[in-house]
């Protein structure tokens, strides 16, 4: 009986020690995690946007800086780190950075030390739907889109900056250069519809009355390359109408549905005279 009581006591002591060790280890792990993930004040991050212009394009310089005193692990949910939108004086969107681009879906984390900046650039050739925008005042707005900073969730539109700039009328010899830059195959493109059902109308002047289109959402192709036959071939301009239907389960929760309309070169089959057409923005 005494031997049984002694054995039971030893077991209870060992169990108690195990509990103490486990709690100690748990506290140590938690403290270690806190030590390696410093708290972050999102107000310590600054977004700036500057624009430089020529007659042919606007170049946007974007900076996202850590003004705090701690290292920051900035995590992005895809290869797209920012969105840039340009609007005209009527607040109509004439350019969006993500349209026509494909981004990887892999998570990416960038560490910014105190005072360090993430610097990015983008260019716009003043074109919308195959035509150069008219002279006037334009507003550019950039939004940095990290998902988390030091494991702290970042809400949409937390980091934004904007600037205004003027697209000047090109005079003299440069006018002909600007006209040559305009798309020679497609013009007067318009889009109607929403939620997966869209109609694109416009005019095409294409070789052998043939051109192509595809649709994507910035991450994957939704409608692969599809051939279209216009009523007449070049040099005549021919009206066209595209009916595009996308299943509801293929519409993105976030992102832009974009159609690419283009020709293929008769020489080497490369894509030429491409126009990016925004069908719908999902947020």
Kindly report, residue by residue over 99-158, the tens digit of the pLDDT.
Answer: 888 899 899 999 999 999 999 999 999 998 888 999 999 999 999 999 999 999 999 899
Which tokens go with 98?
Answer: 């993500």
Intervals of CATH 2.60.40.2360 along the chain: 42-167
Contact 252, 217 (CB under 8 A): yes
Q: Is the pLDDT of residue 18 over 60?
A: no
What element of type H or E holds 265? none
φ, ψ of residue 9 in degrees (nearest 5): -65, -45
DSSP strands (E only) in the chain: 45-53, 58-66, 72-76, 82-87, 93-96, 108-112, 117-124, 127-128, 131-132, 136-144, 148-149, 152-153, 159-167, 186-194, 197-204, 210-216, 221-229, 238-245, 255-264, 271-282
pLDDT of residue 162: 97
> How crowded is residue 72: how many other Cβ atoms within 10 Å of its Cβ?
21
Does domain 42-167 fall under CATH 3.40.50.1980? My reply is: no
For the chain, give the percent of residues with pLDDT over 90. Answer: 69
Tell me: the pLDDT tens digits for 262-276? 999 988 999 999 999
Intervals of CATH 2.60.40.10 along the chain: 183-282
Which tokens go with 43?
Answer: 């107000």
Q: What is the mean pLDDT of residues 60-76?
A: 96
pLDDT of residue 170: 67
pLDDT of residue 131: 84
Contact 154, 43 (CB under 8 A): no
pLDDT of residue 171: 64
Superfamily of domain 183-282: Immunoglobulins (2.60.40.10)
Q: What is the mean pLDDT of residues 236-248?
A: 94
Q: Is the pLDDT of residue 165 over 60?
A: yes
Cα dihedral value 214, 218, 220, 225, nearest 10:
10
pLDDT band, residue 44 (cuts 50/70/90)? very high
Contact 244, 200 (CB under 8 A): yes
What element of type H or E holds 120? strand 117-124
Higher pLDDT among residues 32 and 207, named by residue: 207
pLDDT of residue 176: 42
Tell me: the pLDDT tens digits for 167-210? 998 665 444 444 445 788 999 999 999 999 999 999 999 999 99
pLDDT of residue 11: 47
Q: How far apart are CA 196 and CA 187, in angstroms?
A: 24
Q: Is the pLDDT of residue 10 over 60?
A: no
Q: How many CA atoms lie within 13 A of 226 on its CB side?
A: 14
Q: Is the pLDDT of residue 89 over 60?
A: yes
């Amino acid at each position: 009986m005494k031997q049984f009581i002694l054995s039971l006591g030893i077991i209870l002591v060992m169990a108690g020690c195990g509990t103490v060790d486990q709690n100690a280890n748990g506290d140590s792990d938690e403290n270690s995690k806190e030590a390696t993930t410093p708290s972050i004040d999102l107000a310590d991050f600054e977004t700036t946007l500057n624009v430089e212009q020529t007659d042919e394009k606007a170049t946007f310089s974007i900076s996202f800086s850590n003004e705090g005193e701690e290292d920051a692990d900035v995590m992005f949910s895809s290869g797209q780190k920012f969105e840039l939108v340009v609007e005209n004086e009527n607040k109509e969107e004439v350019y969006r950075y993500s349209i026509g681009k494909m981004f990887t879906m892999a998570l990416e984390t960038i560490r910014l030390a105190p005072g360090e900046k993430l610097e990015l650039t983008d260019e716009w050739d003043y074109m919308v739907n195959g035509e150069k925008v008219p002279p006037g005042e334009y507003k550019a707005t950039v939004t940095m889109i990290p998902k988390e900073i030091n494991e702290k969730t970042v809400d949409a539109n937390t980091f934004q900056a904007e600037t205004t700039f003027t697209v000047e009328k090109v005079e003299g010899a440069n006018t002909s250069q600007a006209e040559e830059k305009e798309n020679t195959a497609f013009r007067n493109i318009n889009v109607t519809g929403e939620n997966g059902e869209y109609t694109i109308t416009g005019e095409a002047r294409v070789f052998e009355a043939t051109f192509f289109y595809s649709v994507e959402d910035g991450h994957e192709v939704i409608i692969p390359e599809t051939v279209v036959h216009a009523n007449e071939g070049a040099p005549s301009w021919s009206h066209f109408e595209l009916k595009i239907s996308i299943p509801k389960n293929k519409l993105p929760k976030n992102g832009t549905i974009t159609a690419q309309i283009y020709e293929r070169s008769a020489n080497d089959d490369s894509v030429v005279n491409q126009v990016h057409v925004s069908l719908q923005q999902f947020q």
